[in-house]
């Protein structure tokens, strides 16, 4: 089994992505997540580029990753400057990491037109830097920048760059598709030439995703014989991003005979979600392996097949990557989908029960009316329990009133709401100002409920979406509201539909709180009837 090393560049190449800005603590948290997962190298930034990275490397001197090597990153010495006087090279040593990544030009065009050096001088810059770092006890990983473009313009010189780096003592020479434009079938013959020319060397691959082929190119490179793969864990990076390691790694572990340091993938999904949280990005639902929709089934025939044998419509067991199977309820769902969904809610309800047919019929009607339960599991559960007579509300609405005003009375809150609710025969009327009628309604409801249920303060609205469902009624169209909520431990979604956006919002807000009462053991809840 061929050993494949993984180098993650989230903290360096990933940080160059648009809207990405890591604090020192963010960088330390990412190191912890990647180290726990087990990547071989963590390329952690350029200690010569900014004060933040300097401080990060100082912090890292006090930490000891358990499985990953921290790798400082920089360039070869500058043109016309001796390596022992080059500030960048000295900063790499001062970073204190055992491993150091340096990049050098492998493209004649870039040598002559960007750094404006001769081809011979560029080779000297590469060899001088690698030898200097090696003499100071460092393991040097060399990135041949623009290698594939350089190979296509002058193959002999691009190959000479690799030979120079390896002869100087680089432990790996990585071929970089820096512009991200090469396609797998153009990449393959070049890789074959390099592997044949350096059969005893460790050759790596570093792909950008500008043509959408970063993952495919990386896998093609492994198939050709490379033994070192670089990328970022969630694919972030300059322009269109880097090769997505959270897709490459499970492909290699689960679908090839390659040997990786990472063996257990059950923490993969959690690690991906952790990195999205730190980077303040939203994980796409359709991410391979780790997305919320990766193992979500909606079509009736698909659900029936998966229910009989998961291999019919799933390429792996979702649990092997820490994900889970989901059945989506929609107008396309059959009886089998509903039964699978109901199993976790009312396990005593058998598939032969006439109630199942009634539930299916009701759900399809609600979908026709505009409801969408595939992204609102909480509203689905409440709807089913209510239909079965197994749900008692935690509160009843007696009235609400909302109003907007321009200009606003206080200059800040342009709307207000009054809500009157009843709990166990006792009424409470509360009012609140808000940034719009929905916000005011939400605040007034929570204020009233807090009188009876102090735990309501734990619930937080994290997302609110409105979708217009009709295209022929303009402002009188029916709308669907979808909310996402959390109590700091769990996340759940609810939905509401109406031609009145306030009424649709009320339904979604009410369901969010009722679901919390239903499922939170520490809340004073009114849940399933015994």
How far apart, in whole angstroms, are the C-alpha atoms of residue 380 and residue 378? 5
- Lowest model confidence (mean pLDDT) among 137-151, 408-422, 449-463: 408-422
- Lowest model confidence (mean pLDDT) among 195-204, 216-225, 240-249, 272-281: 272-281
Q: What angle do CA 29, 33, 39 make, to 5 degrees?
A: 130
Helix (H) or strand (E) holding 451: none
pLDDT, mean of residues 264-277: 93
pLDDT tens column, 18-73 = 989 999 999 999 999 999 999 999 999 999 888 889 999 999 988 889 999 999 99
Of residues 27, 37, 91, 14, the one with CA closest to residue 59: 27
State what percent of residues in the chain have pLDDT above 70: 94
Tokens of 29: 């948290």
* 305 Cα distance to chain centroid: 29
pLDDT tens column, 329-372 = 655 555 666 777 777 788 787 777 888 778 878 877 887 788 87
Confidence (pLDDT) at 348: 80
Confidence (pLDDT) at 26: 93
Tokens of 518: 């239903």
The confidence band for 14, taking pLDDT boundaries of 50, 70 and 90, is very high
Question: What pairs with residue 105 in β-bridges?
Answer: 145
CATH class of 3-263: alpha beta
Confidence (pLDDT) at 528: 39
Ramachandran category for residue 373: left, alpha or beta (phi over 0 → left; psi -120 to 50 → alpha):
alpha
- Residues sharing a CB contact under 8 Å with residue 367, sequence separation 6 or more, in sequence order: 329, 330, 331, 373
Confidence (pLDDT) at 427: 92
pLDDT, mean of residues 149-160: 98
Ramachandran category for residue 51: left, alpha or beta (phi over 0 → left; psi -120 to 50 → alpha):
alpha
Contact 398, 422 (CB under 8 A): yes
Give the dihedral sign, CA 378/381/387/389.
Answer: negative
Confidence (pLDDT) at 449: 93
3 state SS of 61:
coil
pLDDT tens column, 76-90 = 999 999 999 999 999
Domain ranges of the chain: 3-263, 296-386, 396-451
How far apart, in whole angstroms, are the C-alpha atoms of residue 371 and residue 56? 49
pLDDT tens column, 227-268 = 999 999 999 999 999 999 999 999 999 999 999 999 999 999
- Residues sharing a CB contact under 8 Å with residue 153, sequence separation 6 or more, in sequence order: 107, 108, 109
Confidence (pLDDT) at 297: 81
Question: What pairs with residue 260 in β-bridges?
Answer: 4
Number of H helices, E strands in the chain: 17, 17
Confidence (pLDDT) at 530: 33
Max CA separation in the chain (angstroms): 89
Helix (H) or strand (E) holding 431: strand 426-434
- Residues sharing a CB contact under 8 Å with residue 260, sequence separation 6 or more, in sequence order: 3, 4, 6, 249, 252, 253
CATH class of 396-451: alpha beta
Contact 142, 130 (CB under 8 A): yes
Contact 339, 351 (CB under 8 A): yes
């Amino acid at each position: 089994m061929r050993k494949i090393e993984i180098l993650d560049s989230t903290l360096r190449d990933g940080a160059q992505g648009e809207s990405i800005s890591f604090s020192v603590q963010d960088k330390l948290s990412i190191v912890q997540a990647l180290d726990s997962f087990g990547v071989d190298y963590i390329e952690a930034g350029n200690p010569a580029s900014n004060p933040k990275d300097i401080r990060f490397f100082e912090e890292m001197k006090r930490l000891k990753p358990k499985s990953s090597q921290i790798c400082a990153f920089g360039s070869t010495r500058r043109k016309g400057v001796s390596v022992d006087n080059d500030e960048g090279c000295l900063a790499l040593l001062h970073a204190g990491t055992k491993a150091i990544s340096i990049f050098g030009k492998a493209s004649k065009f870039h040598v002559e037109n960007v750094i404006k050096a001769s081809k011979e001088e560029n080779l000297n810059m590469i060899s001088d830097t690698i030898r200097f770092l090696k003499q100071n006890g460092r393991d040097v990983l060399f990135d041949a920048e623009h290698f594939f473009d350089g190979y296509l313009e002058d193959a002999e010189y691009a190959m000479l760059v690799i030979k120079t780096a390896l002869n100087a003592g680089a432990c790996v020479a990585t071929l970089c598709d820096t512009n991200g434009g090469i396609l797998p079938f153009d990449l393959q013959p070049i890789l074959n030439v390099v592997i044949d020319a350096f059969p005893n060397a460790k050759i790596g691959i570093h792909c950008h995703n500008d043509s959408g082929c970063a993952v495919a190119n990386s896998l093609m490179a492994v198939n050709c014989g490379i033994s070192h793969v670089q990328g970022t864990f969630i694919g972030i990076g300059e322009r269109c991003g880097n090769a997505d390691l959270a897709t490459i790694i499970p492909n290699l572990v689960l679908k090839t005979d390659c040997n990786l340091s990472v063996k257990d993938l059950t923490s993969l999904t959690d690690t991906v979600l952790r990195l999205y949280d730190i980077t303040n990005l939203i994980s796409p639902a359709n991410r391979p392996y780790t997305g919320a929709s990766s193992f979500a089934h909606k079509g009736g025939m698909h659900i029936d097949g998966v229910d009989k044998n998961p291999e019919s419509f799933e390429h792996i067991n979702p649990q092997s990557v820490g994900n889970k199977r989901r059945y989506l309820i929609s107008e396309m769902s059959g009886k089998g989908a509903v039964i699978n969904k109901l199993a976790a809610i009312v396990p005593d309800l058998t598939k032969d029960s006439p109630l199942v047919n009634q539930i299916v019929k009701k759900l399809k009607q609600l979908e026709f009316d505009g409801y969408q339960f595939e992204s609102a599991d909480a509203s689905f559960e409440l709807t089913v329990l209510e239909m079965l007579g197994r749900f008692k509300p935690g509160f009843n609405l007696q009235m609400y009133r909302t109003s907007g005003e321009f200009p606003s009375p206080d200059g800040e809150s342009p709307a207000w709401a009054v809500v009157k609710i009843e709990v166990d025969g006792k009424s409470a009327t509360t009012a609140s100002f808000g940034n719009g009628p929905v916000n005011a309604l939400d605040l007034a409801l929570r204020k009233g409920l807090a009188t009876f249920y102090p735990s309501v303060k734990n619930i937080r609205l994290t997302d609110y979406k409105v979708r217009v469902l009709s295209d022929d009624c303009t402002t009188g169209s029916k709308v669907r509201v979808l909310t996402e909520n959390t109590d700091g431990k769990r996340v759940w979604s609810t939905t509401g539909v109406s031609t009145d956006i306030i009424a649709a919002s009320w339904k979604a807000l009410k369901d969010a709180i009722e679901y919390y009462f239903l499922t939170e053991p520490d809340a004073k809840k009114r849940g399933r009837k015994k």
